Chain A
Amino acid sequence: MPTLTINGMAVDVPQGTTILNAAKEVGVEIPHYCYHPMLSIAGNCRMCLVEVEKFPKLQTACSTVVTDGMIVRTETEKVRKAVTGVLELMLIHHPIDCPICDQAGECGLQNYYMKFGLHKSRYALEDKVHKKKVQDIGGQIVLDAERCILCSRCVRFLDEVTGTRELHFFDRGDHSEISIFPGRPLDNNYTGNLADICPVGALTSKDFRFKCRVWFLKGFDSICTGCSKGCNVDAHFKGDILYRLKPRWNDAVNQAWMCDFGRLTYKAMNEARLLTPIVRVEGARKAAAWGSLLPQVAYRLKEAAEKGGPDRVAVIASPQSSNEELYLLRRIATKLLGTRNLAFTHRVAGDGFADDFLIQPDKNPNSRGARLLGIPFGAAFDALVAAIAGGGIDALLLVGNVVGALSEEETAALLAKVPVVVQVGTNEGPVSKAATAVLPSASVAERGGTFTNHAGRVQRFRPGFPARGKAKNPIEILVELGNRLGAGWTFDGEASVFRALAETEAPFSGMTYESIGMFGQEI
């Protein structure tokens, strides 16, 4: 292990470590734009210049590999002048449109200007080189060539990660710009990442454009619910509205990326939400109170089981539910209602598109968890649907907003066969329109829990803000329902449910929220 001395502090680093990464280890910040840990080294922004003893010229910290005994200085006058000099050159053509730029507040140029620049402009305004602004280059991205500092991160991303190579450098000198070839827009499912890796406001997200200033946003750790990959995400919200998802680093799952479909899944957590309990009275939907509806629902389920026998009651689980919720639901079905009619399906409407990178064919975050918790699926689900269609079910407890891949008409026709349909769901949809009672559930952004991804990795998602409207955490709903059915549960939140689950469910044995940690734990 070579030993490096940086600003007088000695540090041992593994062979092959660059100065920039070694500095990060000991808390020395070296400014950079073109360097990105997941991309190849370009070394062209020239911000990370440092003084290395025995080298006559300043060296780029991003590309220089540490050798034993190397002495590096990052705080000398020479380095300071070089860094401010490069920053000044980066800014000479940069439009001062921060007030209308989405990147403002999380902009590499703003941050380093405040830290290293703070200079007055020496550049004549009329000398500025103007380039094309507001270019729709396809995918989720808008390009503003004038704001671009030509760091080449986007070009390398499309070269090295997607391999689709839509963006290129055109022209030379201070007229250089990145662009697409005419008529050949971005054509891949990962374009949103370009806005994330762009250190400035050149590539911004069409979806997030002009929606919110970033300094009003708060973030929390979540998991994308768009498919069974379980990409780790940072969810950003203001009040109780989500504004965007950004990939959160997890080398074992999604590295630093996420797909364009997943990126927009947050919209369902804002729009068409079920925000109040609803009861259907003589065909008409009526707002209800939790205090009266829950006992009523419990009574109806119990009544159906007692009257026609437990198998006249059915429970449909959802692979959108957390492990904790599925565990409670299974106990309600098998232990409290005593029915054998419990099933789920991972099938959803759509073509089940998948690729060999992040996008999985299963569009649910927790099908694997549901299977591991022993909830029947596949043929069992089809049999259950057949039983309902045949009029063999008197009461149905249904978690989720859809019934598998059934269309709205099919769902309405199916549920019309059941006198009592109790839904625990987040959004208006085919099920809520047909249900006799709707118990509004907190969205993924409003509750906590764990999902088990397609590869068997158990990962935590956390609540960002309290449940909207009168929606409740489904754990709370299920616990109360269970208790009204005689469970005698004393669970308090998802953590206590997970502890019970880990005790009895073999695949999760020995796991705790602590052992799952930030990055998840394999079954």
Chain B
Amino acid sequence: METVLTTHFANERYRRLDTYRQYGGYEALKKALAMDPVQIIDEVKKANLRGRGGAGFPAGVKWGFLPKDLSRPRVLVINADEGEPGTFKDRVIMTRGPHLLIEGIAISCFALRAHACWIYIRGEFVREAGIVDEAVAEAYAAGFLGENILGSGFDLDVTVHRGAGAYICGEETSLINSLEGKRGWPRLKPPFPASVGAFGLPTIVNNVETIADIPWIVTHGGETFAALGVEKNGGTRLIGVSGAVNRPGVYELSAGVNLKDIIYEHAGGIKDGKKLKAVIPGGSSTPVLRPDEIDVSYDIESMAKIGTMAGSGGVIVIPEGTCMVRSLSVLMNFYAHESCGQCTPCREGTGWLKKIVGRIEEGKGREGDVELILDLCDNMMGRTICPLSDAAAMPAQSFIWKFREEFDRHIGEQKCPYGNRF
């Protein structure tokens, strides 16, 4: 099947500008610079490109939120703060094809009439930031960034900015605060970043993968891109499969691929011939699925229909013999650690969830703890400025809804039936 991003990723030199250009790199930029910016945005709309960061918001529509008047400079911010557990696709783009991102940035900024772009890279991505930095320097040297790009009169400055290691900074307004040197707290909306974003300027924040898709869309046209996927979900997605599969890794597949096929065909099925127990389909925040639920198209709407999300494309495969309470406990530790502390329900709720789930796993669960978790989740969902509270509550709810008997057994027997191991 046709691939958009990973076509040349096997070639280790693809990250260098010369190799990237041998494969036709930056031709899309040349084409774009000759186009009307409005035309480029139209192509992106036609492409049905959905944001790849997790929420799946249509990219073309998001771009349309910028104020019409050009009196204030606009900026593009790339969200490369890939921190969702189970998600490791942007990292592959940045290490294997950083110029896809940079070319995408140049085209997008031209379309958005932005002259400044920041790439906000997760603090832990030291090596990745180095590679992107090098690629940006190459692009500047070759005249693809900087002043008067390719003689078009279009100027663009790109700055690589490393985060300081907080999951919450993947949330776009938190990312903007962090970029400005402030504490990484999500902002109250409105105003939305499109009107008041980074440094008070109209700002578009896009995920790495979203922007890396742009050169292909310009080259082949939005409709061609859309046709690679399914209705409302254009193109391909990078899907990271981790956990107990024979071939874990990142796969570029149609946005409408079947989840079961991702696991059994592309990732080679469950390791050691075991049976499948559960799948977290789109990064750790997304509600867990039982094996009987995974015969479903991986597009955003189909996943929503069964009460979960394709999220950031991180499929976590859990095999039989795994303690679901222990698994949830690991997740709850993560969210309690990463809650920024701003809103009461999340600040206190994530910590409380961690403690309740932790004590159930330790064999100290109490009568009524399961109901308490569910009630607590209800008090956390949709009650906060950003979705981190929901991100912690969704797995907790779904683990209980779908694997209730394991929780009850832990409490009833006052021990972990799996012997406190994975």
Contact = CB atoms under 8 A, between A and B. Distances in A.
Interface of A: 41-47, 49, 56-58, 60, 63, 81-82, 85-86, 88-90, 92-93, 122-124, 127, 129, 149-150, 168-169, 171-176
14 contacts: A41-B188, A42-B188, A47-B344, A58-B383, A60-B188, A81-B378, A81-B379, A86-B383, A89-B349, A173-B340, A173-B341, A173-B347, A173-B350, A176-B340
B341 A150 contact: yes
Contacts of A60: 188
B351 interface: yes
B92 interface: no
Contacts of A41: 188
Contacts of B347: 89, 150, 173-174, 176
Contacts of B338: 172-173
B306 interface: no
Interface in B369-394: 372, 378-379, 382-385
Nearest to B352: A92
A86 B341 contact: no
Contacts of A49: 383
Given A57-B382, A58-B383, A89-B379, A46 B348 contact: no
A90 B349 CA distance: 10
Nearest to A63: B188
Given A44-B342, A90-B344, A149-B344, A173 B351 contact: yes
B351 A129 contact: yes
Contacts of A63: 188
A44 B385 contact: yes
B348 A43 contact: no
B87 interface: no
Contact of B345 (A43, A89, A127, A172): A89
Contacts of A169: 183, 185, 341
B372 A174 contact: no
A46 B341 contact: no
Interface of B: 166, 183, 185, 188, 336-345, 347-352, 355, 359, 372, 378-379, 382-385
Complex A-B, nearest 8 residue pairs according to Cβ-Cβ distance, in ascending order = A176-B341, A85-B379, A174-B351, A89-B348, A173-B339, A43-B188, A57-B382, A44-B342
Contacts of B382: 56-58
Given A43-B188, A169-B183, A174 B345 contact: no
Contacts of A42: 188
A47 B383 CA distance: 10
Contacts of B340: 172-173, 176
Contacts of A168: 183
B412 to A, nearest CB: 19
Contacts of B336: 173-174
Nearest to A42: B188
Nearest to A60: B188
A257 to B, nearest CB: 24
A122 B375 CA distance: 11
B55 to A, nearest CB: 15
A200 to B, nearest CB: 12
B167 to A, nearest CB: 10
Given A46-B383, A122-B372, A93 B344 contact: no
B222 to A, nearest CB: 30
A464 to B, nearest CB: 38
Contacts of A127: 352, 355
A169 to B, nearest CB: 6
Given A89-B379, A168-B183, 4 more contacts: A41-B188, A44-B188, A173-B347, A173-B350
Contacts of A82: 379, 383
A171 B338 CA distance: 10
Nearest to B381: A57
A99 to B, nearest CB: 24
A173 B337 contact: yes
Contact of A85 (B345, B350, B351): B345
Nearest to A40: B188
A46 B344 contact: yes
A54 B235 CA distance: 33
A86 B344 contact: yes
Contacts of B348: 89-90, 92-93, 174
A124 B379 contact: no
Contacts of A129: 351
Contact of A43 (B337, B350, B372, B385): B385
Contacts of B337: 172-173
A91 to B, nearest CB: 9
B383 to A, nearest CB: 6
A44 B388 CA distance: 13
B379 A174 contact: no
B379 A88 contact: yes
A180 to B, nearest CB: 15
B379 A86 contact: yes
Contacts of B384: 46
A378 B282 CA distance: 80
Nearest to B337: A173
Nearest to B383: A46
A149 B344 CA distance: 8
A90 B183 CA distance: 22
B294 to A, nearest CB: 28
Nearest to B355: A127
Contacts of B383: 46, 49, 58, 82, 85-86
B355 A124 contact: yes
A41 B359 CA distance: 38
A176 to B, nearest CB: 3
B352 A123 contact: yes
Q: Which of B336, B340, B341, B378 has the most CB of A within 10 A?
A: B341
B369 to A, nearest CB: 10
Nearest to B167: A172
B345 to A, nearest CB: 6
B350 A44 contact: no
A335 to B, nearest CB: 65
A169 B166 CA distance: 15
A43 B385 CA distance: 8
A10 B253 CA distance: 54
Contacts of A88: 379
A35 B336 CA distance: 26
B186 to A, nearest CB: 9
A276 B26 CA distance: 95
B11 to A, nearest CB: 41
A476 B372 CA distance: 68
Contacts of A47: 344
A359 to B, nearest CB: 31
B300 to A, nearest CB: 17
Contacts of B342: 44, 150
A63 B183 CA distance: 21
Contacts of B372: 122
Contacts of B183: 168-169
Contacts of A150: 341-342, 344, 347
A175 B350 CA distance: 11
Nearest to A127: B355
